[in-house]
Amino acid sequence: MLRISVVGLGMAVKPHASALLNLGDQVEVVWGAARSEARTAAFAQATGFPVTTDVTRALTDPAIDAVLLLTPPDTHLALGRVALEAGKHVLVEKPLDRTLADAQALVALAAARGRTLGVVLQHRFRDAALRLAALVDAGELGTLALASVTVPWWRPQSYYDEPGRGTLARDGGGVLVTQAIHVVDLFRALTGPVEVVAADATTTPAHRMETEDTATALLRLRDGAPGVMLTTTAFYPGLPERIEIAGTEASATLTGDALEVRWLDGRTETVAAGDSGGTGADPMAFSSEPHRRLIADFADAVATGRPPRASGEEALATQRLIHAVITRAGAPTP
């Protein structure tokens, strides 16, 4: 039984709360913590879990083994350091931190303290993504020939009007590090390592915001294969993301949580779409099942001493790719 504190009870807590209520045989929530009394009260009413407004207590309580950190990106290193130095394992909401330097520091600190660091990149735990990863790992697609990733999502201006949204100071960037990071992470895990050949990042007329709402890149993938990236939150009303991988033995198309694989010898395989969602105006309109699997994987990783599937090192590799796209595009970085 992994005993945890959930620190940060804003918008991101909803799928985690649902997942934790279904993980009662593996995870015990000792504290739900936020500085806001309104948020702690709402969390307690929705879940029945104990709550506190003493965040430091929740990070360091001797009764806990780990912290689920759901606060804004600009707080991750500071709060993660408190937890890690108190001997706690940490599962942190994406990204690792708003800057690449602080992301690297968080990973290094966890390693130095001998603690497990996981990151909430739940797209890795969808049914179709798990199946495609297994096929790629088994060499079923053959040698990588080319691949692309497209994220045609939508967010209304009201989303970016919320204080801190899409800013360098709090979020560390726009569409790449805040929304599309889930899909970019999965794409990199399937096709990486990735080199950025050319890139562009811009804010379209669809939004008024400090950072980019659209980023595109030409990539060089494993075995020298070409790749293409297009990510945006300006495509109304928002469509499912798409990863396409062409190999010498088969091609695969992952659309949201639906997979279609076509082999050159005529075989086909499909995985029916699940409840992917989150592509449009409501960013939380998705199933909590991938979150449940991710938290369960983290708990097992702590128990067995192995790295979690969405480890700090894996998330850092994705954040390095995002940083490379933004800097190659000449866009500002925090």
* Number of Cβ within a 10 Å radius of residue 304: 9
- Quote the pLDDT of residue 287: 85
CA proximity to 152, closest of 257, 233, 243, 258: 233
Choose among 298, 312, 216, 305: nearest CA to 27. Answer: 298
Amino acid at 85: E
Please state which CATH class domain 123-283+311-329 belongs to.
alpha beta
Q: Determine the Cα–Cα distance for residues 94 and 120; give it in Å rounded to an integer.
A: 5
DSSP 2-29: EEEEEE--STTHHHHHHHHHT-TTTEEE
Question: Is the peptide bond prior to 334 cis by the omega test (within 30 degrees of 0)?
Answer: no
Supply the pLDDT for residue 212: 98
Q: What are the residue boundaries of the structural domains of the chain, listed by start?
A: 2-121, 123-283+311-329
| Widest Cα–Cα separation across the chain | 61
Residue in the block written with tokens 């504290």: 31
Cα-based distances in Å from 101 to 94, 201, 225, 289, 334: 15, 21, 29, 32, 10
Q: What is the pLDDT along the chain (334 residues), one digit of tens a residue?
A: 999 999 999 989 999 999 999 999 999 999 999 999 999 999 999 999 999 999 999 999 999 999 999 999 999 999 999 999 999 999 999 999 999 999 999 999 999 999 999 999 999 999 999 999 999 999 999 999 999 999 999 999 999 999 999 999 999 999 999 999 999 999 999 998 999 999 999 999 999 999 999 999 999 999 899 999 999 999 999 999 999 999 999 999 999 999 999 999 999 999 987 766 667 676 655 689 999 999 999 999 999 999 999 999 999 999 999 999 999 999 999 9
Q: Are 74 and 148 in contact (CB under 8 A)?
A: no
So what's the pLDDT on residue 192?
87
Fold classified for 2-121: Rossmann fold (3.40.50)
Query: How far apart are alpha carbons 203 and 210 in whole angstroms?
Result: 8
pLDDT of residue 285: 57
Distances (CA, A) of 56 to 34, 47, 81, 202, 315: 10, 22, 11, 39, 25
Q: Is 296 helix (H, G, I), strand (E, B) or coil?
A: helix
